[in-house]
């Protein structure tokens, strides 16, 4: 570093100059630039994975005995993880092929409002078993008449039996051989159809029994219990803060994840 003198307005001033070696700094900046896309991809994917984990934990906490199928419905599909060329991951409600509702069944839990009609409800309405505009729900106090799964829902096999019993099975999307197998039923001495020793009938709600599908069994059918009750469209209160949880994870983890990924990349490249 050497001083030089310059004259400005007749006065002499000392000008100090130095040669700064920028080679190392340029190399570091170039190294950071090369690794930034990789670090961004890793940071987004780490954050997305953490988001899925937290959302699934919240579902298990908020919902009453949710099915594994329901828990796994939140996630990132195979081709929706971030890449170097496209550092974007999509965390969403996955829509399996067998779920045919126009709206995902978890949307009412996130945004509130009514749930969509289920396919078997449409089959019952088309057959005239259930009035239009109503939904079929299991009774709060399930009895011998309802075969429930471990998660509090009527078993699909019994739904198919009911559709078969009321002649609505053809409205349901099933293979012909399956329909033929499940449509077999017996008869009581008075000629009433039975499935599994039970007679099913529909109450319109004008008598003592609320509207719905009921079952009876025993001598003279003295044992009566509801299988499905018909009710107006249920409105749900939003209990699953999907968007709020996602935003918290992004605010808390995305930037630290990027720094971590970038430092790891810099430490392993030259």
> In this predicted model, what pLDDT tens digit does every residue of 181-223 receive, in sequence order?
555 555 544 445 666 678 899 999 888 899 999 999 876 657 8
User: Is the pLDDT at 143 greater than 70, yes or no?
Assistant: yes
> In this predicted model, what pLDDT tens digit does every residue of 89-137 receive, in sequence order?
999 988 755 555 567 778 888 888 777 778 888 889 999 999 988 989 8
What percentage of residues in the chain have a pLDDT greater than 90?
33
Query: Is-contact 162 185, C-beta < 8 A?
Result: no
- The residue that leads in pLDDT, 147 or 113, is 147
Q: How far apart are CA 24 and CA 215, in angstroms?
A: 83
The domain spans of the chain are: 20-101+236-268, 117-233
Considering the entire predicted model, what is its pTM? 0.63
pLDDT at position 12, please?
A: 62
Alpha carbon separation from 198 to 86, 141, 186, 224 (Å, rounded):
59, 19, 9, 10
Residues with Cβ within 8 Å of 76's Cβ and at least 6 positions away in sequence, in order, are 48, 49, 52, 89, 90, 91, 92
């Amino acid at each position: 570093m050497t001083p030089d003198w310059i004259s400005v307005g007749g006065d002499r001033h000392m000008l100090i100059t130095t040669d700064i070696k920028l080679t190392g700094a340029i190399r570091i900046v170039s190294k950071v630039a090369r690794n930034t896309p990789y670090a961004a991809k890793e940071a987004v994917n780490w954050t997305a994975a953490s988001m899925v984990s937290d959302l699934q934990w919240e579902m298990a906490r908020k919902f009453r005995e949710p099915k594994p199928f329901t828990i796994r419905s939140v996630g990132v599909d195979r081709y929706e993880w971030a890449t170097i060329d496209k550092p974007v991951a999509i965390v969403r409600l996955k829509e399996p092929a067998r779920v045919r509702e126009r709206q995902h069944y978890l949307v009412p839990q996130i945004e509130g409002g009514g749930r969509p009609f289920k396919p078997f409800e449409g089959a019952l309405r088309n057959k005239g078993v259930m009035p239009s505009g109503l939904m079929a729900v299991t009774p709060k106090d399930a009895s011998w008449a309802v075969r429930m799964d471990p998660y509090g829902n009527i078993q699909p096999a019994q739904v198919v039996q009911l559709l078969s019993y009321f002649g609505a099975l053809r409205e349901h999307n099933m293979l012909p051989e399956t329909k033929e197998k499940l449509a077999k039923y017996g008869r009581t001495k008075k000629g009433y159809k039975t499935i599994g020793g039970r007679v099913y009938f529909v109450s319109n709600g004008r008598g003592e029994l609320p509207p719905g599908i009921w079952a009876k069994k025993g001598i003279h059918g003295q044992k009566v219990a509801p299988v499905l009750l018909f009710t107006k469209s249920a409105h749900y209160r939003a209990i699953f803060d999907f968007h709020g949880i996602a935003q918290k994870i992004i605010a808390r983890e995305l930037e630290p994840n990027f720094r971590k990924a970038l430092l790891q990349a810099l430490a392993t490249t030259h």
